[in-house]
Structure 1
Amino acid sequence: MKKYILLIITTLLAFPTFSQIKYEEFTSAKLGESRRLKIQLPRNYDTNTDKVYPIVLVLDADYLFEPVAGNVDYFSYWEDMPESIVVGVMQGNKRYDDGNYDDTNFFPAETGAAFFEFLGLELIPYIDKQYRTAKFVIAVGHDFTANFINYYLFKDPPLFNGYISLSPDLAPMLDARLPERLAVIQNKIFYYLATGTDDIKDLMEISEGLNTSLQAIDNKNFNYYYDNFEGATHYSLVGRGIPNAMEKIFSVYRPISKQEFADVLMKTDIPIHQYLIDKYKTIEDLFGLTNPIRENDFLATAAAAEKRKKWESLREIATLAKKQYPDTVLGDYYMGRYYEEIGETKKAMRTFQGAYDKEEVDFITIDLMLDRAEKIKADFGY
C-alpha cells in the first residue's frame, strides 16, 4: 500500500515536466462550422511565463499529430530544436474537401479556399493571441495535405517559415509553379520533401521530379532538404521523415556538436567568439528566440580558442560567460586562462582564487581552479 501511494505521489510530482495535450473546439466563420484542434504545449509552459514558442501546425492530425508531437517533445528535450507549440487540425473525411482546388487554375476553390482562409486568417491569429508564440511557424502535411501547404508559399509574405511535405500529391502545374516561386522568394524558407522507394509509384515520381527542380534553385533564402528512404512505404516514410525534417530545419539551433567543433570552429576564419555570437543572433533572427548561450557552447568555443591559441577570442568568451553565468566558475576559469597565456600570472592566480565560492561547471571544479592558482604561486613565488 505504501509503495502504491508513493507511486501516485511521484507521478503527480513529475506530471508538470510532461508536455500538456489538450483538445479545443474552434468555431470558424470561414468554414461555417467547428473544427476540433489537438494542441500540445511545451513542458513547463505554465511556469516559463516569459518564454515564447514557435508553432508546428499539423494537418491530418487524426494520424499525424502523435508522430509530430512526439518528435517535437523529444528533440526539444535534448535542445536539438526549440520547445514548440504543436497544433493539430482534425480533418477526418473532410481532408479532400479542405484541399479542394479549381479545375482550371488549380488553386484552392470553394471548400478549399475556405479552409485556406481558415488557417491563415483565423487559426494562426487565434493561436498567436491565445498562447505565447514566436514568429516562426512550420506546417506539416502528407500526400493531399502536403500539396495544400504549398499554396501558402504564393502569399507575400508566406504564412509559414517551414514546410514539411511528406509524399505530396501535387495539383497540376504546381510542380512547375513551385520552383519558379521559390527561386525568387524574398523570405527565409525551410522546405523538406520526402518520399520512399516503396511509396505509391505516381507519388514517388512526383517527388523525384520536384526534387530535381528544387535542387537546381540558387536562392540564399531557400533552404532545401530531401530524403528518399530505402524500403519506406507511403505510410512508413512519415515516421522517418518527421525526425529528419526537424533535425535539418533546426540544425543551427542545436548545441555545438563534435562535428561542428572539428569542421567549423577549428577551421573558421571568423574570430571564434564572433562565431558564437553570430550563432545565437541567427537563432534570434530565424526563430524569434532570444536564448541565453548554452554552457556547452561556451565550453566548445573556449576549447577551440585554446587549441588554436586565439587568446583574444578566449577573453571575449570569458567576458560573455561572466556576464551570462556570474554565479558559476565558467567565466572566471577562462579569464584566468587568458591571463596565464598573455603572461599576467598574478591576475590569473587571483582570478582562479576568486571563484572558490561559485558553482562548478562540467570539468571546471573548484579544486581545479585552486590547483591552478597554487601552481602559479609556486612557480612564480607569489
Structure 2
Amino acid sequence: MMIQKSTLLLFLLFCYNGISQQLISKKIASDFLNETRQLKIYLPEGYSSDDTKNYPLAVVLDVGYLFDLYVANAVLFAKKDLAPKQIIVGVTIKNTLEKDTYFNINNGSLTNSNKNFYQFIRNEVIFEIENNYKTSPFITIIGEGTAANLITNFLGEKTPFINAYICINPSFSNFIGGQVQNFNLPRFQKEDNTFYYYTNNSNRFSDQKQAIIQNLQLGLASLEIPNFHPINDTIITKSSTAAISEAIPRALSKIFEIYAAISKEEFDKNIKDLSPIDAITYLENKYLDIEYLFGSNLGIREVDIFAVEKIIIEKENGDQLLNFGRMILKLFPTSPLGDYYIGRYYEEGKNLKKALKYYKIGYGKMDPADPNSDAFYENILRVGGR
C-alpha cells in the first residue's frame, strides 16, 4: 500500500511540474459582479494559436483544490487516449459561498447574488474563453457542494449549451427534484447534441442529503431521453473528501466514453449484432462525432478497425469489404488498411488486377521499417504470382 501511495504521489508531482508550465492567470472585470475575479487557465500540451486544432472547454468552479484535481485527471485521461485534451478554466469562488453558489433555503431558488454569479459564468467567463482560445463546441462544467446545485440550473437554459455537468458531493436544495422536473428535460431530445449529467451519492453524507440525491437520481434514471445520459454514482468511502478524488475520474470515463477506443463493453452492447453496413456506419459516426464534439481529428484507430473487421469479413460473404475500405480511406487516408480491405474485396471477387493495384497503393504508404510491412507485401506476391 505504501508503494502504491508513493507511486501516486510521484505521478501527481510530475503532473504538477508539467502542468505549471501551461497555466495562465487572468483577471476578468465582471459587470455582473461589479468586481474583478481571477481565472486560472490550463492550456493542454501542444496547444498553439497557429494550428487549427480545437479543444473541449471545461469550467471548474474552484474552491481551492478542485481545479488542480480536475486538471491532473484530464491530463492522465488524455495521455491514456481515454479523453481529448481540454482547455480548463478555474473560476475563483468567494470564501462566503452564500454569495456565489448558495440558494434560498426556503424555496431552493437562487438569490440575486447567485444569479449574478451564474450570469458571470454564462456571459462573461465562457464568452471570454471562447473568443480568445480555440475551443470546440463541447463544454463541461464542474462544481462541488453548493456549486453543484448552481450548475444544475444550467439545465434550464432555453437552448442548452452545456454538454456535461459534473456535480460532485452535491449539496442540493430540498426542492431540487421539482426544479429539475420544471426544466422539462425531455425537450433535450430535440437538440442535435449530446448531454451528460453526473452526480455522486456517498455513505459519508447525512441521511437527509443521501435521500435528496437518491430521489433525484431515481427521477433521472426513469427518463428515456436518447441524447441525455444521467450518470448516477454512489461512492463508498471513508470520507466525503476522498469521494471527490474518486468522482472526477469516474465522471470522465463516462462522459468521454465515445472518445475512447471501442471497449469490449461497447462492442457487446452496440456493435456485435449489427449487419456489416450498420457496423461500418457506427464506426464512421463515432469518429465524425469525435471530430465535431471534441475538435479531435484522430483519423481512425487501427484497434477500432480490427474490432469490427470480423463482422465485415464473416457476414454477408464479405460483400461490404469495399465500403469498409472506402470508409477507412475517408477518415484516415494515410492508412494502408483502407487499401488493404478494398484489395481484399477485389481479390475475393477474382478481380486480381484491381486487387494488386490497391495492395500496391497500401504498401506504398507504409514505412519500410514498419514490422508489418513484410506481411503486407505478401499480399502483392500472392496476387501478382497468380
TM-score by length of 2: 0.84
Of the two structures, which has the highest relative contact order with CA contacts closer than 8 Å and spacing of 6 or more?
A: 2
**Counterpart for residue 203 of structure 2:** 197
Write the deviation string for residues 290-339 of structure 1: whole angstroms up to 9, x where unpaired.
63432323343334312435634321221233345444422222222112
* Counterpart position of 1:132: 134
1:347 aligns with 2:354: yes
Instruction: Give 1:212 deviation, angstroms.
Output: 1.6
Give per-residue Cα distances to partners, 1:102-127, cap 9 Å, x unaligned: 45543222221211111111111111
Mapping 1:85-100, distance limit 5 Å: 85-100=87-102
| Other structure's SS at 1:184 match | helix
Q: Is the 8 A contact 1:55 1:85 kept in 2?
A: yes
Shift, 1:372, TM fit? 2.2
**Aligned match of 1:298 in 289, 292, 305?**
305
**TM-score, normalization: structure 1?**
0.85
Structure 2 regions of 5+ residues with no counterpart? Answer: 1-16
Match of 1:53 among 52, 55, 67: 55
Q: Which residue of 2 aligns with 1:76?
A: 78
Q: Answer with 268-277 or 110-119: which moved more.
A: 268-277
Determine whether 1:226 maps to 2:228.
no
Could you say which residue in structure 2 is the equivalent of 1:260? 266
Letter in 2 for 1:70: A
2:324 to 300, 317, 322: 317
| CA displacement at 1:90 relative to structure 2 | 1.8
**SS of 2:197's equivalent?**
strand
Alignment partner, residue 374 of structure 1:
381
Aligned residue for 2:236, secondary structure, equals strand
Q: Is the 8 A contact 1:161 1:190 kept in 2?
A: yes
Q: Percent of pairs identical after alignment?
A: 27
For the residues of structure 1 that align with 2:306 and 2:187, how far apart are their CA atoms?
38
Q: How many residues align?
A: 364
Change in CA separation of 1:142 and 1:98 when aligned onto 2, cut-off 3 Å: same
CA gap of 1:324–1:48, structure 2 versus 1, over 3 A, is farther
Whole-Å separation in 1 of the counterparts to 2:235 and 2:175 = 26
1:248 alignment partner AA: K
Rounded Cα–Cα distance in structure 1 between residues aligned with 2:250 and 2:267 = 21
Counterpart contact for 2:337–2:362, Cα < 8 Å: no
CA distance in 2, matches of 1:356, 1:280: 24
Partner AA of 1:101 in structure 2: F
Cα 1:326–1:121 shift into 2, 3 Å? closer
Pair 326,210 (structure 1): closer, same or farther in 2 beyond 3 Å: closer
Distance in structure 1 (CA, Å) of the matches to 2:306 and 2:366: 15
When structure 1 is superposed on structure 2, of 142-151 and 165-174 the one drifting more is: 165-174
Per-residue deviation, 1:68: 0.8
Letter in 2 for 1:22: I
CA deviation string 1:254-277 (max 9, x = no partner)? 222244344433311353221222
Choose from 137, 147, 155 the match for 2:157: 155
Does the Cα contact within 8 Å between 1:298 and 1:317 map onto a contact in 2?
A: no
Give 2:45's aligned amino acid: R
| C-alpha deviation, 1:75, in angstroms | 1.4
Q: CA deviation at 1:41?
A: 0.9
Q: Structure 2: which amino acid aligns with 1:234?
A: S
Partner of 1:172: 174
CA distance in 2, matches of 1:198, 1:104: 25
Structure 2 Cα separation of the partners of residues 362 and 309 of structure 1: 36
The one of 243, 246, 251 equivalent to 2:249 is 243
The answer to whether the aligner puts 1:332 opposite 2:339 as a matched pair is yes
Q: Which residue pairs with 2:14 in the alignment? A: none
SS of corresponding position for 1:170:
coil
- The equivalent residue for 1:5 is none
Q: Tell me, what secondary structure is at the counterpart of 1:210? A: helix
Deviates more, 1:169-178 or 1:275-284: 275-284
Please tell me whether the aligned partners of residues 23 and 37 of structure 1 are also in contact (alpha carbons under 8 angstroms): yes
Q: Could you list the per-position Cα deviations for residues 62-90 of structure 1 after superposition, in whole angstroms to 9, with x for gaps in the alignment?
A: 11011111111121223322221111112
- Tell me which residue corresponds to 2:9: none
Q: Partners in 2 of 1:272 and 1:16 — Cα distance? A: 40
The worse-fitting range, judged by mean Cα deviation, of 72-81 and 240-249 is 72-81
Structure 1 pair 235–325 and aligned structure 2 pair: CA distance change class (3 A): same
1:24 corresponding residue in structure 2: 26
Q: CA RMSD in A?
A: 2.8
